């Protein structure tokens, strides 16, 4: 059992002590995740990042944290509530982890506020963009905001007068409220009154554009402040002492028994209805709120001290994603034009090109049109008889899904597996499932006990009574929108070695019967994926012990599986060169003398979300290069259908390795993951390398 440790990555404290004699030091996954989210916050305070992009990173940070509280923090609180008898077999103490999480988040929230008020607001002012408080408005602006309140906000406002023992209103998850502190206008009555007013953000933008005082200047106000100023008209019989914003985050995890009987889809639909009424996992409140008001709200909503978090004046900062840009392109990232993959995009027959050779694309540098075209041509091609797809997340408006519906109308046999347990995309996936079924597509839904996380498609074409198969495999989803934001590899292939094994996966999902033959080329989650990875690492260890070159490069979102981490420690101790590019969770602890001192680990946070999983093993000089849908987490390696697929074409292997080399050499956006230096920007090198821009240049020069 590995030793769980907590590192004070984001606090100003020194690293906490741990027993370095233990062969398996291990960072708690949630503490490590907070370290990742801090990297997002670092982008918001980086003066080299364009101003409006910095605001966007604040929105991403805030959105990430909301989901973290709804899922991970809620889970820890449930464990604490269940008591030690329930969690005594765990290798960590939930109460201790929860305390550390809240300490780190509180420190981050202080820094978040400082970034907004001390950096971004002054920087916006210099660019002629002013976020005003109501007292800063002139008469014309006040009249404008008052009229906006009456016409657009007042009809949706439902004030609630609180009575601690009698009126306990239900707060909607993630909704913004003003908690209002009042006194009776009768001077003889000194007692306080408490009320709530919901800010109707679902009916309007969070930001109200105001008539400007100066030509060329842009002025706006939070609608929170518009409502705040008009509260006196909502409670005419009271003297308003103060109003303070609050927001409640509720437990969002779906508690669905993974049974092998019963209607799983119906269970999910019922659980979705409960998601926004789950127990409170966090109450955020304005740090200016008087303590007696905080205590009053704790009693009204039955909250404990661990359930409340102090923040600034404004919550739901994910709304900053819609902060107006005023057409100021100079305050945003330069355009990185999508690069056409000419061989596929310009071809009149995409299947002949795939039959000729494998094609590797890397999004969002390459245009995603090749993938859309693959499905559109399959839908129209009279020689195509069957299309099978495994999809995890898909765009709300999807040309791919539209093509599959059109394919059915053209008489093709179309089967789509839809994973409705894809967190926060359950509703969208269910909606697409119903739409596809209505069109005649054979739809398969989630498997009890497993998530299907593979992203693959197979097209069958019949010419002269001979069947040919064409395949697309990816590290990312069939999602046209996120393909512009997430970096992922996609492989088109006709290679029979891969396709024959991929058919076994489709057959298993279709029939629930386990394959009778082993996978040789593919690594498949729950079958052989982990064993295949272990074998690859152990071979490198054996080469190192023989004095031969041994090297492992791993790129993924998360590294959490304790057994795999322990094996990487052994690889380092044996002399294997281990290089890691981990975007998010990294439970491995690099840099510990005698354990992991030579393991080099970085994380890259930049304009695109690093989402691809790539595993490279030197293999005695006959390099193995794999792409995968799977991270090295317990859930991916044990409880999901994942696919790890090899790159067999030597030229394409070189492309993958070249891209990894650029990322490993990044000294602009790479942060160190190290037990002493976590989140310090990597420096050094004769030239500045920002890998995402360098990759764009590389792909532009090697379009096909």
| 336 is a domain residue | no
Q: Which of 483, 511, 539 is the last residue of a domain?
A: 511
Convert the pLDDT of each residue in 168-197 to its tens digit. Answer: 788 888 899 999 999 887 766 678 889 999
The CATH number covering residue 132 comes to 3.30.1840.10
In this predicted structure, what is the pLDDT of residue 135?
92
In this predicted structure, what is the pLDDT of residue 309?
86
Q: How many structural domains compose the chain?
A: 3
Convert the pLDDT of each residue in 194-212 to its tens digit. Answer: 999 999 998 999 999 999 9
Convert the pLDDT of each residue in 333-343 to its tens digit. Answer: 999 999 999 99
Task: Give percent of the chain with pLDDT exceeding 70.
Answer: 90
Coil, helix or strand at residue 470:
strand
What is the chain's mean pLDDT, rounded?
A: 89
Mean pLDDT over 585-605 rounds to 96
Cβ-Cβ contacts under 8 Å for 466 (sequence gap 6 or more) = none
**Best CA proximity match to 440, nearest among 471, 472, 416:** 416
* Cα–Cα distance for residue pair 215/13, rounded to 1 Å: 49
Convert the pLDDT of each residue in 413-456 to its tens digit. Answer: 999 999 887 676 677 888 888 999 999 999 998 877 788 999 99
In this predicted structure, what is the pLDDT of residue 21?
41
- Helix (H) or strand (E) segment spanning residue 624: strand 624-628
| 401 is a domain residue | yes
In this structure, the answer to whether residues 409 and 556 fall within a common structural domain is no
Please identify which of the residues 453, 479, 611, 674 carries the catalytic annotation: 453
In this structure, the answer to whether residues 404 and 553 fall within a common structural domain is no
In this structure, the answer to whether residues 139 and 269 fall within a common structural domain is yes
In this structure, the answer to whether residues 292 and 360 fall within a common structural domain is no
pLDDT top residue among 218 and 277: 218
Q: Which of 511, 543, 564 is the last residue of a domain?
A: 511
Return phi, psi of residue 634, to 5°.
-55, -45
In this structure, the answer to whether residues 346 and 427 fall within a common structural domain is yes
| 144 is a domain residue | yes
In this predicted structure, what is the pLDDT of residue 585?
97
In this structure, the answer to whether residues 135 and 194 fall within a common structural domain is yes
* Cα–Cα distance for residue pair 36/40, rounded to 1 Å: 7
Mean pLDDT over 536-553 rounds to 98
pLDDT band at 60 (very low <50, low <70, confident <90, very high): very high
Beta bridge partners of 140: none
In this predicted structure, what is the pLDDT of residue 166?
66
Mean pLDDT over 232-254 rounds to 86
The CATH number covering residue 383 comes to 3.30.870.10
pLDDT band at 251 (very low <50, low <70, confident <90, very high): confident
Which position has the token pair 């404008």? 144
In this predicted structure, what is the pLDDT of residue 91?
66
Mean pLDDT lowest among 1-5, 9-13, 236-240: 9-13
Mean pLDDT lowest among 78-82, 587-591, 603-607: 78-82
pLDDT band at 31 (very low <50, low <70, confident <90, very high): very high
- Give the distance from CA 74 to its chain's centroid: 17
In this structure, the answer to whether residues 86 and 117 fall within a common structural domain is yes
pLDDT band at 8 (very low <50, low <70, confident <90, very high): very low
pLDDT top residue among 300 and 252: 300
In this structure, the answer to whether residues 393 and 327 fall within a common structural domain is no
Mean pLDDT over 284-296 rounds to 93
- The answer to whether 153 and 226 are in contact (CB under 8 A) is yes
In this structure, the answer to whether residues 231 and 380 fall within a common structural domain is no
Query: Whole-model pTM?
Result: 0.92
pLDDT top residue among 162 and 141: 141
Can 453 be counted among the known catalytic residues? Answer: yes
Range of the domain at 461: 342-511
Q: Which residues of 210-230 are buried (b: 16+ CB within 10 A; e: fewer)?
A: beeeeeeebbbbbbbbbbbbb
Mean pLDDT over 294-299 rounds to 90
pLDDT band at 269 (very low <50, low <70, confident <90, very high): low
**Best CA proximity match to 495, nearest among 693, 616, 648, 329:** 648
In this predicted structure, what is the pLDDT of residue 307?
86
Which position has the token pair 């107006």? 324
In this predicted structure, what is the pLDDT of residue 19?
37
Convert the pLDDT of each residue in 79-128 to its tens digit. Answer: 777 777 666 666 678 888 888 998 999 899 999 999 999 999 999 999 99
Q: Which of 312, 331, 350 is the last residue of a domain?
A: 331
pLDDT band at 15 (very low <50, low <70, confident <90, very high): very low
In this structure, the answer to whether residues 71 and 191 fall within a common structural domain is yes
In this predicted structure, what is the pLDDT of residue 184?
85
In this predicted structure, what is the pLDDT of residue 267?
67
In this predicted structure, what is the pLDDT of residue 694?
97
CA distances from residue 145 to 133, 137, 142, 154, 202 in whole angstroms, order as listed: 12, 9, 5, 12, 18
Please determine, for residue 253, whether its predicted confidence score (pLDDT) is greater than 80.
Answer: no
- The answer to whether 51 and 331 are in contact (CB under 8 A) is yes
């Amino acid at each position: 059992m590995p030793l769980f440790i907590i590192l004070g990555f984001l606090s100003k404290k020194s690293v906490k002590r741990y027993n370095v004699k233990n062969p398996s030091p291990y960072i708690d996954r949630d503490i490590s995740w907070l370290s990742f989210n801090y990297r997002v916050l670092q982008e918001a305070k980086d003066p080299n990042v364009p101003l409006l992009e910095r605001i966007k990173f604040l929105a991403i940070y805030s959105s990430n944290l909301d989901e973290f509280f709804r899922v991970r923090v809620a889970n820890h609180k449930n464990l604490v509530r269940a008591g030690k008898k329930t969690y005594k077999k765990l290798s960590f103490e939930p109460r201790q982890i929860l305390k550390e999480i809240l300490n780190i988040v509180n420190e981050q929230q202080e820094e978040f506020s400082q970034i907004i008020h001390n950096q971004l607001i002054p920087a916006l002012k210099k660019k002629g963009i002013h976020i005003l408080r109501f007292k800063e408005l002139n008469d014309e602006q006040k009249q404008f905001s008052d009229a906006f309140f009456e016409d657009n906000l007042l009809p949706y406002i439902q004030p609630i007068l609180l009575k601690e023992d009698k009126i306990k209103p239900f707060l909607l998850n993630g909704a913004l409220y003003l908690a209002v502190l009042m006194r009776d206008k009768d001077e003889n009555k000194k007692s306080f009154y408490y009320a709530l007013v919901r800010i109707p953000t679902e009916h309007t933008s969070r930001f109200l554009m105001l008539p400007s005082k100066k030509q060329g200047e842009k002025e706006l106000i939070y609608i929170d402040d518009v409502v705040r100023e008009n509260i006196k008209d909502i409670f005419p019989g009271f003297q308003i002492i103060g109003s303070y914003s609050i927001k409640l985050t509720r437990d969002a995890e779906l508690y669905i028994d993974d049974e092998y009987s019963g209607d799983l889809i119906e269970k999910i639909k019922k659980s979705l209805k409960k998601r926004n009424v789950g127990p409170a996992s966090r109450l955020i409140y304005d740090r200016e709120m008087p303590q007696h008001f905080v205590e009053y709200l704790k009693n009204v909503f039955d909250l404990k001290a661990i359930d409340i978090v102090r923040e600034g004046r404004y919550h739901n900062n994910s709304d900053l994603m819609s902060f107006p840009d005023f057409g100021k392109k100079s305050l945003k990232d330069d355009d990185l034009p999508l690069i056409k993959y000419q061989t596929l995009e310009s071809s009149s027959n995409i299947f002949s090109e795939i039959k000729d050779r494998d094609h590797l694309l890397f999004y969002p540098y390459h245009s995603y049109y090749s993938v859309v075209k693959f499905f559109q041509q399959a839908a129209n091609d009279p020689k195509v008889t069957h299309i099978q797809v495994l999809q995890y997340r898909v765009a709300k408006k999807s040309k791919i899904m539209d093509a599959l519906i059109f394919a059915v109308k053209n008489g093709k046999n179309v089967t789509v597996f839809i994973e409705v347990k894809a967190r926060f995309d359950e509703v969208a996936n269910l909606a697409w499932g119903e739409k596809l079924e209505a069109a005649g597509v054979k739809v398969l839904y989630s498997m009890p006990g497993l998530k299907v996380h593979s992203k693959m498609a197979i097209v069958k074409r019949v010419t002269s009574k001979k069947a040919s198969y064409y395949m697309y495999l990816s590290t990312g989803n069939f999602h046209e929108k996120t393909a512009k934001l997430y970096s992922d590899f996609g492989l088109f292939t006709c290679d029979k070695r891969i396709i024959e094994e991929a058919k076994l996966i489709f057959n298993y999902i279709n029939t629930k019967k386990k394959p009778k033959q082993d996978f040789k080329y593919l690594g498949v989650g729950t079958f052989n994926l982990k064993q295949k990875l272990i074998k690859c690492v152990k071979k490198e260890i054996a080469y190192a012990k023989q004095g031969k070159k041994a090297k492992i490069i791993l790129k993924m979102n998360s590294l959490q599986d304790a057994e795999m981490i322990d094996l990487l420690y052994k690889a380092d101790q044996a002399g294997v060169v281990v290089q890691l590019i981990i975007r998010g969770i990294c439970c491995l602890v690099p840099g510990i003398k005698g354990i992991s001192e030579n393991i080099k680990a970085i994380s890259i946070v930049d304009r695109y979300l690093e989402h691809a999983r790539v595993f490279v093993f030197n293999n005695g000089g006959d390099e193995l290069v794999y792409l995968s849908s799977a991270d090295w987490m317990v859930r991916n390696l044990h409880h999901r259908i994942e696919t790890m697929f090899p790159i067999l074409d030597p030229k394409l292997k070189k492309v993958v390795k070249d891209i990894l080399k650029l990322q490993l050499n990044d000294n602009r956006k790479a942060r160190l993951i190290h037990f002493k230096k976590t989140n310090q920007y990597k420096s050094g090198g004769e030239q500045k390398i920002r890998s995402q821009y360098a990759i764009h240049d590389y792909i532009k020069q090697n379009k096909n």
